[in-house]
Amino acid sequence: MATRTEVAIPRGDELPGHGSTFGAMLEEFNVAARLLKLDPGVWKILTNPKRQIVVSCPVQMDNGEIEVFTGFRVQYNITLGPAKGGIRYHPDVNLDEITALAAWMTWKCAVAHIPFGGGKGGIICDPGKMSKRELEALTRRYIAEIVDAIGPEKDVPAPDVNTNEQIMAWVMDTYSMHVGHTTTSVVTGKPVELGGSMGRREATGRGVMIATREAARHVGIDVTSARVAVQGFGNVGSVSAELLARQGARIVAVTDWKGGVYNDSGIDIAKLLAHVQQHRTVDGFSGGDPLSHDRLFSLDVDVLIPAALENQITMANASVIKARIIIEGANGPTTPDAHRHLHDRGVFIVPDILANSSGVTTSYFEWVQDRYGYFWSEKEVNERLELKMCEAFDDVLQTALKYTVDMRTAAYVVAINRVATVTKMRGMYA
C-alpha cells in the first residue's frame, strides 16, 4: 500500500543557503520583512509551511512491472483562501523545491490581490519516458493519495512543468469519482469543454507581455522596437514571444531544452511555432543561426525573459548580461546574489511573483466561473487580466519608489503586508 506522511521542514534559520531553493526564497522574504518591521510571531508563521505531504504512488507499468513514484503536495499558507499551485512532473522534483514554489505562490497570489493561499505539488518521474496510460495511472494514484487534502475550498491544483490540460482533466475526474459528483472547480487549467476558462493557456505569457510593456514604459524603452531574448519556449516563453512580436518587439533569440536560434533581424515567431509543433524543440530551426544556452545571456538586447526553470541566472553568468530589463517568466530563475549584482548595475528586474502572476490570476477567474457555472468570453477574460496585471504592477512600482528598493523587494513588501495583515486580523487559534 502507498503511504502518506506529513513531515516538517527545518526553520528558516536552519536551512542551508547553498543549493536550497527554499533558502533563496527566505533571503528574499527576510529583506522585505525587515523593511516592514514584521512582528516576530507573524514572521515565524510566514516562514514555515502549514502542511507538507509526501506520498508513495505504486503504478503498474506497460511491461507489467510495478514502479513506486514519490509525490509531494505542500500547502504553504492558506490565510487568504484555498491553497493554489501547480503540479509538476520532473526527475529533479524534491521537497525543498516544492516548498519554495508553494511559498512563492503564496506571495504571488497576495501580489495579484486574489483570495488564494499558496500550494505546489510534484512527482519524481520522467514523463518523456512514460506512455499516456502510465501517466494517467500515475496521476490518478497521486490524486487518490492526496484527495482528502485538496478541494475547491481547500487546495486547487493546476498545470506546471510537464503537465497539461489532459492531466488536469484526469485530476478533476479522479477527485469527482471520490466525492461522488462532478466537481470542476477542484482544479484549473482544464480543457474548456470540462469547465476550463477561455484565455487560460495564454494567460501567463500574456501577463509577461503586459509586464514587459509596463517595465519598458517605466525605463523609457519603446516596446514596439525593443530587442528581446527568450529562454524557454514552452507555454510561457512561446506565448510571450508571440504577443510581444505582435506589439512590434523584435524577438532576436530563443532557446529551449535542446538548443536555440538567433536572428538579429528578428525571428519569425509564427514559423518557429510551427517548427516546434513538428519537432518539439527550437533546435534545428532554419530561420536564424544556432544559439547556445550560455550565449543567450550575453546578447546585446533590451529585454531578457527567462521562462525556463529556476536558478538559471547566477553569479556565473550575471556579469555577462547586457539586457536593461529582465522579466521573470519562470519561477525563481534568478538567484539572490545574482539579483543583487544586476540591480546594482541598474538592470530593472520584474520578479516572478509579479511577472507571471497572470497565470494564477486567470486560474482564479476559472475557479470563479466554475463555482458560478457561468463563463466569460476570451475578450472578457483578457480585459479583466489586463486590469489586474496593471494594478499589481503599479502597486509594486509605487512601493519600490516609496521604499527606494528594487521591484522584487517591493513585491514581497506588498505580498507580506497583505498576508500579515489578515493573519493578525484572524488572530491565533489555540
Supply the residues annotated as catalytic.
120
Question: CB neighbours of 274 closer than 8 A, spacing ≥ 6?
Answer: none
Grid cell, residue 307, equals: 521562462
Cβ atoms of 424 and 39 closer than 8 Å? yes
Q: Both ends of the chain: CA-CA distance in Å?
A: 35
Grid cell, residue 206, equals: 500574456
Grid cell, residue 25, equals: 526564497
* Cα 321 from Cα 297, distance rounded (Å): 5
In this structure, which amino acid lies at residue 79?
T
* Cα 167 from Cα 115, distance rounded (Å): 25
CA atoms within 13 A on the CB side of 235: 17
Question: CB neighbours of 84 closer than 8 A, spacing ≥ 6?
Answer: 105, 109, 116, 117, 118, 119, 155, 156, 158, 360, 363, 364
Cβ atoms of 66 and 60 closer than 8 Å? yes
Longest Cα–Cα distance in the chain: 64
Phi, psi of 282 (to 5 degrees): -75, -30
